[in-house]
Amino acid sequence: MTSQVTTKSGDDGTTRTLGGETLSKSHPILEANGSLDSLRTRLARLRLMVVERNPAGAEAHAEFLWWLLHVCFVVGSEISDPLWKCHASHPGKVGPEHLVKLEKEQARLEASTSLPHAFVVSAANIASAEADASATMAREFERRLVALHEALPEFACSDLLIFANRLSDYLYILARRLDDGRFQLVDYTAARP
């Protein structure tokens, strides 16, 4: 029986990129794509939690997260073929218009969210905790993207780097919005032995 998923071509620890190269699965391109996959799955889970929890603004949050999930696939194609060797396979590129949309949504959330003036030790509910976990994955993805750019300086990714940096900020704000004002702040006295 032929599998639609298993090709066995990666059994030797290599994989083929969108750009047509066969690379080690530890190559910075694959590390960045793996980190992006982790981020995408966290965003998908966050979206489902928001929809199921149905907080105020859930529809707008879910719609924006849906957009981000699709952007992840555009980002994935950029990373998998950073030198654009296979132009026909690229669905597009993250550009200034993506950043404007992301920053506009962050500003919308910030305008209606009173942020605490202390470190948050823990999210107040499962959805805000998932948003915090997503922000952490966004920062991890950003580090993998920087490592890829350092390994391949000709990778023109300045817009993508800015977008990745802002994404974790947006997710932090979303987490605080989902906290519904019930912030769990750091109490340094609780850390005493």
Asked if the model's pLDDT at residue 25 lies above 70, the reply is: no
pLDDT value at position 150? Answer: 96
Whether the CB-CB separation of 98 and 163 falls below 8 Å is answered with: yes
pTM attached to this predicted model: 0.86
- Identify the residue with better confidence: 41 or 1: 41
pLDDT digits 0-9 by tens, 65-102? 999 999 999 999 999 988 888 777 778 899 999 999 99
List all residues 6 or more positions away from 45 whose beta carbon is below 8 Å from its beta carbon. Answer: 130
C-beta of residue 136 within 8 angstroms of C-beta of residue 45:
no
* pLDDT tens per residue, range 136-193: 999 999 999 999 999 999 999 999 999 999 999 999 999 999 998 888 877 787 888 8
Q: Where are the domains of the chain?
A: 23-182
Structure confidence by residue, pLDDT tens digits, 95-134:
999 999 999 999 999 999 988 888 887 888 999 999 999 9
> Burial of 11 by CB count in 10 Å (0-12 exposed, 13-18 middle, 19+ buried)?
exposed
- Second-level CATH architecture of 23-182: Up-down Bundle (1.20)
Dihedral angle, C-alpha 171, 176, 180, 182, nearest 10 °: 150
